[in-house]
Chain A
């Protein structure tokens, strides 16, 4: 018997949040602090030239930062370092950060941002991942747009489909969606009494932000301190860097506290999206309802940057059969660059998209076979000792019990 596990202990952060006492980065005010506003690309694919001279003349503007002002590496990214802190030559999506205007007030920063001149030399762009997979398509990163292809091969699908009594083939599409967390991105950066660069921001992984900030500043990790006050939801949308590095560079260079707060619209533009996917599914079963073969091709729109795409498309493929035993499996998943908003982590991480396909396939098969949705699932679901499409042997499987519970609905 447990004393504390399994007990409904009141959330230890609840009282502060309910009473409005919890501190979010938006709430932080430091005497003499400056405000930053980001200039972003208006076109999805273009070479740019930036002129900040007019903006810097505005009374109250302290400095306009561009790629030239990045002290360390002008890049970041959770897996591939394919994001630039500020775009140096080519924008790859609408919303790419180009400059960060730092001024005495938010209003001045925002006004001066409108005076930053960006000259765009528009390039042909690609928005459809399947089009982007073609050889002659515009290249987002000056290389093949397909940057990840993951395969699962188990058994012999061709032979198995011949033995199937029923085969169901469909194409499913899911769109890009937003995390829509309650609290848009906000942060403050300053140098503390020990000379450390402090970044206060809503993030999911402070220790990783610390590394990325240190790299961009060209300083050792120990000189950077990340504080995470209350975070108003994340769902994967705070995995990638948004304003953390911009703030750190500004505070590090100007030796003054700098704050930035995104509007809801800027939040949508700044962070990743859930991957849009196109899923080609072919599922076959015998007449008694046993799944025999599954073939799937999953194309994930990574947008302009990789973020977690490799891991997301891998997770999508591993979960593509659903929680069912299928002895013959052929799955191909692809992550493809386009000039769309970039996609990354979002609750479920690839395992959210595939059930839209595999669970509808199960119902369509059940109907054709005269089985109930529960019957076909019980017949095929993972049990103690079952083997997954990747050959993994499962133990502690409570799935049958979960499905049985649905009988009482």
Chain B
């Protein structure tokens, strides 16, 4: 990373360092009693693979991968045996919006329920085919069903599909929230996700430039379905927080945006982002699929306040208005 050599002039250090933290929470979903519904269907295909239909949009957050992992886990089949259909409203059922950090929690639950129902139907069919007296004792593994205590009695998903080509499962999940009353009392969101961030900054008192030297982000994830994807969200959320604290403003003047292109609307680049130490705290949420909570928004929230608190620690100036641009810092420092 490019970093200027520390200048020392007449004994005064022109770059000052400071640390700051931010701690936040975020309530998942539409909230306040609104019907927050996700639907999914699972279907056994002729070749023994499983089709998952769910209208959850992949906007880059990793929804496709997460839905497939949840389906694979529930049915105990390889990732490549799950065929996801999520991009066509005439095929995939409504799974709500890809927002409010709700897809992993809500639609993940719907996919899990759909797969559990399909699994139940598959076991029912396998019971008949294997001619055993109960589903209890049957195990689903890698696309086959077998008797746990007598594994050679076994039938594959493909063989099952060839005998019954109408095995399906439906999953509907409605997140529970309780509408608030006229005093704002109620249980408006569930679950809540917590995050904490620490940063160390360096403020150049000659130019007003703020450099983030290092950072740590601690995230309560319930359970990380895919830790690499969570870490990716942290990187992206952190960058968005840096932009919010230090750079971004559409610049309104009489209703007109003065900064409406990337020529003037400055966002961080990878060079503005330090290496972030990431800590995932796993405390599985009971109502979540395999305990996994939504994290897409929570990763962003503590970043900007941590930076503002670090700037204060560095130069003793409190900024009540963002973004804290170089100009604003210089103006405050020159006030003496």
Q: Decide yes or no whether B269 CB sits under 8 A from chain A.
A: no
CB of B327 within 8 A of chain A?
no
Which residue of chain A has the shortest Cβ distance to B30 in the bound complex? A311
> Which chain B positions have C-beta within 8 A of A360?
305, 308-309, 312, 318, 320
**A172 B297 Cβ-Cβ under 8 A:** no
Q: Is B60 an interface residue (CB 8 A)?
A: yes
Instruction: State the majority secondary structure of interface residues on A.
Output: loop
Find out whether the CB atom of A402 lies under 8 angstroms from the CB atom of B220. yes
| Contact between chains at B27 and A203 (CB < 8 Å) | no
Structural contact, A265 and B252, CB atoms closer than 8 A: no
Chain A contacts with B in 161-208, Cβ cutoff 8 A: 170-178, 180, 196, 203-208
Most buried by A among B26, B31, B194: B194
Task: Compute how far the CA of A331 lies from the CA of B292 in the bound complex, rounded to whole angstroms.
Answer: 31
- B266 to chain A: closest CB distance in Å? 10
Q: How far is the CA of A11 from the CA of B59 in the complex (A)?
A: 13
**A334 to B305 CA separation, bound complex (whole angstroms):** 23
Query: If the complex has contacts A175-B322, A196-B90, A351-B26, are A154 and B185 also in contact, measured as CB distance less than 8 A?
Result: yes
A345 contacts the other chain (CB 8 A): yes
Q: Does chain A have a CB within 8 A of B147?
A: no
- The answer to whether B72 has its CB under 8 Å from any CB of chain A is yes
Query: Are A349 and B198 within 8 A (Cβ)?
Result: no
B186 near A125: Cβ-Cβ < 8 Å = no
A322 touching B69 in the complex, CB below 8 Å, given contacts A233-B59, A268-B260: no
Least CB distance from B186 to A in Å reads 6
Q: Mark B160-189, 1 if CB is under 8 A from A, else 0.
A: 000000000000000000001011111111
Q: Which residues of B contact A136 (CB under 8 A)?
A: none
Taken together as a complex, chains A and B put the C-alpha atoms of A137 and B330 apart, in Å, by 36
The residue from A5, A9, A269, A359 contacting B260, defined by CB atoms under 8 A apart: A269
Residues of B within 8 A of A347 (CB): 237, 240, 296-297, 300
Residue among B57, B69, B72, B88 making CB contact with A231, cutoff 8 Å:
B57
A232 to B60, CA, bound (A): 7
In the bound complex, what is the Cα–Cα distance between A339 and B256 (angstroms)? Answer: 9
Output the nearest chain B residue to A204 by Cβ-Cβ distance. Answer: B98
Indicate with 1 or 0, residue by residue over B9-49, a CB within 8 angstroms of chain A CB atoms: 00000000001111111110011100000000000000000
Contact assessment for A397 and B194 in the assembled complex, using a CB-CB cutoff below 8 Å: yes
CB-based contact B73/A5 at 8 Å: yes
* Chain B residues with CB below 8 A from A71, complex form: none
Of the residues B23, B237, B256, contact of A94 by C-beta under 8 Å: B256
Contact between A351 and B27, CB atoms less than 8 A apart: yes
A352 at the interface (CB under 8 A from B): yes
For residue A83, CB closer than 8 A to chain B, the reply is no
B281:A405 contact, CB within 8 angstroms: yes
The minimal Cβ–Cβ distance linking B298 to chain A, given in whole angstroms, is 8
B-contacting residues, A212-249, CB 8 Å:
224-236, 238-239
**Partner pick for A402 among B23, B59, B65, B267, CB 8 A cutoff:** B23
How many residue pairs at the A-B interface have CB separations less than 8 Å?
337
Q: Is B208 an interface residue (CB 8 A)?
A: no
Q: Spot the interface stretch: B121-129, B130-138, B150-158, B283-291.
A: B283-291
Bound CA span A373–B199, Å: 13
Which residues of B48-104 are within 8 A (CB) of A?
55, 57-60, 62, 64-65, 68-70, 72-73, 76, 79, 84, 86-90, 94-100
A341 near B225 with CB under 8 A, answer no
In the complex, chain B residues whose CB is within 8 Å of the CB of A364: 318
- Measured between alpha carbons, how far is A349 from B189 in the docked complex, in Å? 13
Which residue in chain A gives the minimum CB-CB distance to B225?
Answer: A5
State whether the Cβ of B272 lies closer than 8 Å to any Cβ in chain A.
no
Q: Does A93 lie at the interface of the complex (its beta carbon under 8 Å from any beta carbon of B)?
A: yes
Given A177-B244, A352-B244, check contact A234 B59 (CB 8 Å). Answer: yes
A405 and B218: CB pair below 8 A?
yes
Q: State in angstroms the CA–CA spacing of A7 and B224 once bound together.
A: 9
Closest chain B residue to A202 by CB distance? B59
Within 8 A of A (CB), among B206-241: 216, 218-220, 222-229, 237, 240
Other-chain residue from A3, A151, A205, A399 in contact with B25 (beta carbon distance below 8 A): A399
Task: Name A180's contact: one of B26, B222, B265 (CB within 8 Å).
Answer: B265
Determine if A401 is an interface residue (Cβ-Cβ < 8 Å): yes
Looking across the interface, which residue of chain A has its beta carbon closest to that of B231? A8
- Asked if A6 lies at the interface with its beta carbon under 8 angstroms from chain B, I say yes
Contact among B76, B98, B227, B284 for A234, CB-based, below 8 A: B98
Is A27 part of the binding interface, using a Cβ–Cβ cutoff of 8 Å?
A: no
Question: Which residues of A sit under 8 angstroms from B65, Cβ to Cβ?
Answer: 9-13
Q: Is the CB of B187 within 8 A of A374?
A: no
The minimal Cβ–Cβ distance linking B304 to chain A, given in whole angstroms, is 6
Name the residue of chain B whose CB is nearest to the CB of A381: B23
Render B307-328 as a binary contact track against A, CB cut-off 8 A, 1 for contact. Answer: 0110010000010111100000
Decide if B60 touches A234 in the complex (CB within 8 Å). yes
Task: Give A187 Cβ to nearest chain B Cβ, in Å.
Answer: 14
A110 within 8 A of B: no
A381 to B192, CA, bound (A): 13
- List residues of chain A with CB within 8 A of the CB of B318: 360, 364
> Does any Cβ of A come within 8 Å of B116's Cβ?
no
* Known A-B contacts A210-B89, A318-B27, A318-B189; A359 and B305 likewise in contact (beta carbons under 8 Å): yes
Report how far A363 CA is from B316 CA in the complex, Å: 12
**A273 CB-CB contact with B under 8 Å:** yes
Q: Taking the nearest CB of chain A, how far is it from the CB of B244, in angstroms? A: 6
Min CB gap A277→B, angstroms: 11
User: Is B336 interfacial (CB-CB < 8 Å)?
Assistant: no
The answer to whether A207 and B255 touch (CB under 8 A), given A152-B183, A363-B20, is no
Given A127-B252, A150-B184: A268 in contact with B265 (beta carbons within 8 A): yes
User: Per a CB cutoff under 8 Å, which of A207, A311, A374 touches B31?
Assistant: A311
Establish whether residues A392 and B188, one from each chain, have CB atoms under 8 Å apart when the complex forms.
Answer: yes
Cβ proximity bits A66-83 to B, threshold 8 Å, 1 near / 0 not: 000000000000000000
What distance in Å separates the Cβ of A173 from its nearest Cβ neighbour in chain B?
4
- In the complex, A265 Cα to B258 Cα: how many Å? 11
Q: Are A323 and B23 in contact (CB under 8 A)?
A: yes
Q: Are B89 and A226 in contact (CB-based, < 8 A)?
A: yes
**Assembled-state Cα–Cα distance A147/B58 (Å):** 33
What are 11 pairs between A and B in contact, CB < 8 Å? Answer: A6-B224, A7-B226, A12-B79, A177-B243, A233-B59, A234-B60, A318-B31, A349-B100, A351-B297, A355-B302, A402-B219
